[in-house]
Amino acid sequence: MTDLPLRDASGDVLLDVRFAAESEVTALADPDEIDTVGRHSAEFEGPRSPCYRGRSGRTTAARADVGKDRAAPETTYPDRREPARERGRTVRSEDAEKVAVILLPPRVLALDLSIAEHVLNAHPGYRVLVRGDRGSGATAGAAHSLADVECADVVVVPSYEHPHLPVPDDHLEALRAAADRGARIVAACTGAFALAASGVLDGKSATMHWRHTDEFRAAYPAVDVVDNRVFVEDGAVLTSAGSGAFIDALLHVIRADFGAAAADEVAKDVVSSPARGSAEPQYVDVVVPPRASLRATREWVVDNLGSAITVQRMADRSTLPRRTFVRHFERETGMPPMRWVVLQRVLAARRLLETSDWSVERIAGATGFGTSANFRSLFRREVGTTPSAYRKAHVRR
């Protein structure tokens, strides 16, 4: 099929954390059976940390202590909103799949801290902890030591003012330790300065708000700065641009850990559009006339993924000449048209694998992959696992 090129697959492997305000929260899947794709695991040394209460109510910060029953610590924020409920299935708050720690640098921006809490708290699969010093400018409830960072699956660094000023050594050491054991690290805008100061970004690619790129390049030449991107993912490290892009980055993480349907629900809960792709630009210099916008064409593609879609069909739909259409499409999405179509098909297939009992063959046809062989090949290259393994990891029970 001409609209299904087996090329340009990047192999990208794409976490809303919610505080447990009550003894029970609704789970998207049985935490004793789920085997999340891309899950980070590591051995931990040192004293037990209270930041993670694992499955069956056991604290699992130190691998050597697994199996020793411990009383669950009190919820950090007892005034959180009521937990969501879904399909009548509930799981205790201590059984959250992952721990996310929001690490507060000095002079943290309250907006980005609020975004991280709001988005991550929308999903019951995370237990969110806010850690930092009272001098960091955070809210009163966030004055805690950084020891809990040692057992975090995800470490989030919000933006902060005056990024040229030094970050405390204990913050930098916590970031280095998290990176060394394979935790996912997410930085919003100037949070990338803290990551770079710790050495976590050496030899990696990163982005931030366009106003800070020149300053960052001059200060950290060992980091490859990618201009005008919503977010950049390099291994387990993800950096984003401004506050809007930070939401996209967090939704991207949730999609990677809990699936596309989970990310869609979180986006709906926080009243946001589904996450933009990392290749999309932060801004477009050229003013595009309303008639030249390709949003309607993209929506048509999403509604007709099961049909034969070609560049020419999309160009005809947009009423633009083919070359003009391709140029405008790449400017709006940051990628060629057929690459975007393949990614939309993969995303649609992920949703069906998570939420339906359709066979692989039926999903392949409904999403435009044609044969199950084509579907399996492209899905594995894009998501990093087979459709069957993905379903087993993310299916709702």
Q: Which of 20-29, 267-276, 286-295 has the highest mean pLDDT?
A: 267-276
Residues making up the chain, counted from first to last: 397
- Facing residues of 108 across strands? 160
pLDDT in tens, 196-234: 999 999 999 999 998 999 999 999 999 999 988 889 999
Domain residue spans of the chain: 24-269, 290-333+335-394
What is the number of H-type helices and E-type strands within the chain? Answer: 13, 10
C-alpha 227/C-alpha 28 separation (Å) is: 37
Three-class DSSP category at 28? coil
Per-residue pLDDT at 10: 43
Choosing among 1.10.10.60, 2.40.128.20, 1.20.1250.20, 3.40.640.10, the CATH entry for 290-333+335-394 is: 1.10.10.60
Half-sphere exposure of 329 (CA within 13 A, CB side): 26
Which has the minimum average pLDDT: 3-7, 158-162, 361-365? 3-7
- For the domain 24-269, what is the CATH code? 3.40.50.880
pLDDT (mean) for 82-94: 35
pLDDT (mean) for 11-33: 34
Per-residue pLDDT at 57: 36
pLDDT interval class at 396 (50, 70, 90): low
> Residue type at 308?
A
Instruction: Tell me the backbone φ, ψ of residue 129, rounded to 5 degrees.
Output: -125, 140
* 264 touches 358 (CB < 8 A): no
pLDDT of 373 strictly over 90: yes
pLDDT (mean) for 51-59: 41
pLDDT interval class at 389 (50, 70, 90): very high
pLDDT of 151 strictly over 60: yes
pLDDT of 276 strictly over 70: no
* 63 touches 4 (CB < 8 A): no
pLDDT interval class at 96 (50, 70, 90): low
Question: Residue 103: which of 44, 147, 46 has the closest Cα?
Answer: 147
Instruction: Tell me the backbone φ, ψ of residue 371, rounded to 5 degrees.
Output: -90, 160
pLDDT of 9 strictly over 50: no
Instruction: Tell me the backbone φ, ψ of residue 26, rounded to 5 degrees.
Output: -75, 140
Which has the minimum average pLDDT: 11-20, 50-59, 156-165, 350-359? 11-20
pLDDT (mean) for 158-185: 94
pLDDT interval class at 132 (50, 70, 90): confident
C-alpha 187/C-alpha 392 separation (Å) is: 30
pLDDT of 50 strictly over 50: no
Per-residue pLDDT at 244: 87
pLDDT (mean) for 241-268: 91
Q: Which of 57-61, 280-284, 361-365 has the highest mean pLDDT?
A: 361-365
pLDDT of 245 strictly over 60: yes
pLDDT (mean) for 74-84: 35
C-alpha 171/C-alpha 80 separation (Å) is: 27
The chain-wide mean pLDDT, for the chain, equals 75
Which has the minimum average pLDDT: 241-245, 270-274, 351-355? 270-274
pLDDT (mean) for 53-65: 38
Percent of the chain with pLDDT over 70: 67
Percent of the chain with pLDDT over 90: 54
pLDDT (mean) for 183-203: 96
Task: Using alpha carbons, list the distances in angstroms from residue 247 to 120, 185, 189, 216.
Answer: 10, 15, 12, 22
Per-residue pLDDT at 228: 80
For 307-331, give the DSSP string. S---HHHHHHHHTS-HHHHHHHHHH
Per-residue pLDDT at 271: 75
Three-class DSSP category at 299? helix
Record the pTM. Answer: 0.65
pLDDT in tens, 100-127: 999 999 899 999 999 999 999 999 999 9
